[in-house]
């Protein structure tokens, strides 16, 4: 790799570590392939120089990811605590300088009428529902599922108590009904997971797992 290529890599600060490692592996393989036609004595120093250059570029890229206060001291950064300390120091200095004193809207309630992170169409729909004191379908379905799960578990505890008292006939009859109710709840959970925003999905119930909780 020539010096011009190395300078271009050094300037390309957004190049991530994985890309550099892939480039390093491919470059080393190329050098090894080319070295088959040359003497083995010259290939080892060339490989070492190439690896050293790429390592320098990787170190420079990683160093640029650090706050200015920690650049050049990457070996001293041992945990996230060091980065958190830098953030806290900046906040403290800003407070001492009074940069938080004259912020717009200070002392006033936050305006939560719009969500800048939501899709504009969904945000408009949610605001219309909110003004009419309605909730999205997945919110209402979530309430229904949690209510039914709570009632179902209470019924399961009563049926389990009958089994422990020796009334197995009641337990067999109750368990069949409870399994049907469990399937209905899981069907609602499945529908809920299809319409709920990403990250709010819930797990269904499992008969064996619920029984194991009672056996503990």
Angle (CA) 17 19 23, round 5°? 115
Cα–Cα distances in angstroms (integers) from residue 32 to residues 1, 49, 134, 167, 196, in the given order: 13, 13, 68, 78, 54
Is residue 129 domain-resident? no
Q: What is the CATH number of the domain that holds 178?
A: 1.20.58
Residue 119 covered by a domain: no
* Residue 192: its H or E element: helix 168-195
Looking at the structure of the chain, the number of domains it has is 2
Q: Which of 49, 65, 81 is the last residue of a domain?
A: 65
Last residue of some domain: 27, 43, 65?
Answer: 65
**End position of a domain, from candidates 65, 88, 113:** 65
End-to-end Cα separation, the chain, in angstroms: 65
Give the span between the Cα atoms of 152 and 180, in whole angstroms: 11
User: For residue 32, which phi and psi values (nearest 5 degrees)?
Assistant: -65, -40
Structural domain for 31, as ranges: 3-65
pLDDT tens-place values along the chain, 216 residues long: 444 444 444 444 444 444 544 444 544 444 444 444 444 555 667 777 787 787 777 767 766 666 666 666 655 555 566 667 777 877 888 888 888 887 887 788 877 777 777 788 878 887 888 888 888 889 999 999 999 999 999 999 999 998 888 888 888 899 999 999 999 999 999 999 999 988 889 999 999 999 999 887
Q: Are 204 and 187 in contact (CB under 8 A)?
A: no
Asked whether residue 95 is assigned to any structural domain, the reply reads: no
10 in a structural domain: yes
In a domain, 126, yes or no: no
């Amino acid at each position: 790799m020539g010096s011009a290529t190395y300078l271009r890599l050094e300037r390309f600060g957004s190049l991530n570590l994985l890309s550099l490692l892939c480039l390093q592996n491919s470059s080393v393989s190329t050098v090894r392939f080319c070295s088959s036609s040359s003497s083995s004595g010259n290939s080892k120093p060339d490989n070492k120089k190439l690896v050293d250059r790429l390592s320098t570029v990787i170190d420079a890229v990683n160093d640029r990811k650090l706050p200015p206060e920690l650049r050049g001291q990457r070996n001293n950064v041992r945990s996230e605590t060091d980065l958190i300390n830098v953030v806290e120091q900046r906040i403290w200095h800003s407070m001492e300088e009074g940069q938080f004193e004259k912020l717009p809207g200070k002392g006033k309630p936050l305006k939560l009428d719009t969500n800048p992170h939501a899709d504009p169409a969904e945000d408009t729909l949610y605001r219309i529902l909110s003004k009419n004191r309605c909730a999205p379908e997945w919110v209402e379905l979530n309430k229904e599922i949690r209510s039914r799960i709570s009632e179902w578990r209470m019924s399961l505890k009563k049926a389990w108590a009958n089994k422990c008292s020796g009334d197995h006939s009641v337990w067999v009859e109750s368990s069949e009904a409870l399994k049907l109710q469990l399937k209905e709840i899981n069907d609602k959970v499945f529908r809920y997971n299809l319409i709920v925003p990403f990250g709010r999905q819930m797990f269904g119930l499992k008969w064996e797992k619920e029984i194991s909780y009672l056996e503990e």
